[in-house]
């Protein structure tokens, strides 16, 4: 796999370089591509805590890690966030257009450059969120996947943090968060149903109703099995 990436790098770089499969030793030698790991699930599943724990673990193994979240705090992501916080979601078409634009910029400016520099990228939400949330709002789930995969890097591993709806509601309540327009119980159970129907070879379900350490241990096991770290 590593060899293949390296080969592809040379092949894509073109020019006069001749590659026989051995990494160049010069200081500007190509990095092996990093891995993209995304955390998904309804609100209150503990995604941001688990992103930080995995980032800390990977860094302790000498891996360079970039963490991020979507929607981003860029102009397109902020339009969606601000409308939801005001309890007044944008129209579904406008929401999809803003979120796609937000993701397009995120992929182009942050995610791809980091992966190409050999860094791992860990994301709190990515396009599976759009399949679940905009899907639960009535958009076609498979169409959303196609629109995203036309430009967005497909994850190496997606971790679906699954908890019962009641626990998600309890955790959000305990956080003292005022609910935004995405967080009512019926809507979140529709999102959860879409997540549970997703079938991608790189998507893994994590039982996220245990302790933070138990959930982290499951995640480490999946990363070990899938990415060898």
In angstroms, what is the minimal distance from the CB of 71 to ligand TYD? 5
Q: Does 40 participate in binding ligand TYD (rule CB under 6 A)?
A: no
**Contact status: 99 vs ligand TYD (CB under 6 A):** yes
**Matching residue, tokens 């891995």:** 35
Q: Report the residue number, 172 or 219, with the smaller CB distance to ligand TYD.
A: 172
CA distances from 165 to 109, 158, 161, 171 (A): 35, 20, 12, 10
**Phi-psi sector, 38: left (phi>0), alpha (psi -120 to 50), beta:** beta
Q: Rounded distance, CA 158 to CA 166, Å?
A: 23
Residue 130 makes contact with ligand TYD by CB under 6 A: yes
Q: Minimum Å distance from CB 19 to ligand TYD?
A: 38
Considering only 30, 34, 41, 71, the residue that binds ligand TYD (CB under 6 A) is 71
Size of the site for ligand TYD (CB under 6 A): 10
**CA–CA separation, 209 vs 161, rounded Å?**
9
Minimum Å distance from CB 143 to ligand TYD?
Answer: 14
User: Is the peptide bond between 71 and the residue preceding it cis, with omega within 30 degrees of 0?
Assistant: yes
Contact between 16 and 178 under an 8 Å Cβ cutoff? The reply is no
With respect to ligand TYD, which residue has the nearer C-beta, 85 or 217? 85
Helix (H, G, I), strand (E, B) or coil at 184: coil
Burial of 174 per CB tally in 10 Å (0-12, 13-18, 19+): exposed
Q: Which of residues 151-210 bind ligand TYD (CB under 6 A)?
A: 182
Query: Of these, 39, 40, 70, 195, which contacts ligand TYD (CB under 6 A)?
Result: 70
Among 40, 43, 156, 162, binds ligand TYD (CB under 6 A): 43
Contact 155, 63 (CB under 8 A): no
Q: Segment contacting ligand TYD (CB under 6 A): 9-17, 30-38, 126-134, 201-209?
A: 126-134
The residue within the footprint of ligand TYD, chosen from 39, 133, 160, 195 (CB under 6 A), is: 133
Nearer to ligand TYD, 134 or 218 (CB): 134
Give 149: exposed, middle or buried? Use CB within 10 Å, 0-12, 13-18, 19+.
Answer: exposed
Helices and strands counted in the chain (H then E): 10, 5
* Region from 5-13, 111-119, 124-132, 210-218 binding ligand TYD, contact rule CB under 6 A: 124-132
Residue numbers of the site for ligand TYD (CB under 6 A)?
Answer: 43, 70-71, 99, 125, 129-130, 133-134, 182
């Amino acid at each position: 796999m590593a060899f293949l990436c390296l080969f592809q790098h040379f092949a894509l770089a073109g020019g006069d370089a001749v590659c026989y499969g051995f990494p160049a030793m010069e200081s500007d030698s190509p990095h092996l591509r990093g891995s993209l790991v995304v955390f998904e699930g309804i609100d209150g599943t503990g995604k941001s805590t688990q992103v930080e724990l995995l980032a800390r673990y990977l860094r302790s193994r000498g891996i360079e890690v970039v963490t991020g979240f979507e929607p981003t705090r860029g102009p397109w992501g902020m339009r969606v966030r601000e409308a939801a916080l005001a309890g007044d979601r944008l129209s579904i078409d406008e929401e999809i257009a803003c979120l796609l634009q937000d993701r397009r910029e995120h992929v182009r400016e942050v995610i791809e450059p980091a992966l190409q520099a050999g860094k791992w990228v860990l994301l709190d939400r990515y396009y599976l969120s759009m399949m679940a949330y905009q899907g639960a709002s009535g958009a076609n789930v498979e169409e959303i996947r196609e629109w995203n995969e036309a430009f967005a890097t497909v994850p190496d591993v997606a971790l679906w943090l699954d908890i019962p709806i009641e626990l998600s509601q309890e955790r959000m309540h305990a956080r003292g968060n005022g609910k935004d327009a995405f967080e009512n119980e019926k809507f979140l159970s529709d999102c959860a149903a879409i997540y549970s129907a997703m079938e991608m070879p790189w998507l893994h379900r994590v039982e996220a109703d245990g302790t933070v350490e138990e959930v982290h241990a499951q995640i480490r096991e999946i990363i070990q099995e899938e990415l060898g770290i």
